[in-house]
Amino acid sequence: MNIYTFDNARKEFFNIIKSVNQDSKEIYIAPNEIGEKGAVLIGEDDWNTIQETLFLSEKRITNQIKYRKNEEILDFESTWDNL
């Protein structure tokens, strides 16, 4: 993981954004003051993957996917024509 100070991250912000999206490696932005917390910057695709993993890890969602997997598949066109 690459580490940047807050000031360096601000100066290199555009390049950092490009880097995290191209390399898929997170960047740690260190705080300026002792006792403060830093931040981690990740690319959009990595963030979406994390969100999807969290969503699918919910038991209700997993059960719903298993249930719907066995449902009959409906053809939208024929359903629409029968309305």
Task: Look at residues 50, 40, 36, 53 and name the one whose alpha carbon lies nearest to residue 4.
Answer: 40
One-letter identity of residue 76: F
Full-model pTM: 0.65
The predicted-structure confidence for 1-28, as pLDDT tens digits, reads as follows 899 999 999 999 999 999 999 999 999 9
Sign of CA dihedral 40, 43, 47, 53: negative
pLDDT digits (tens, 9 = 90+) for 30-61: 998 999 999 999 999 999 999 988 887 777 77
- Hey, what domains does the chain have and what are their CATH numbers? 2-81 (3.40.1620.10)
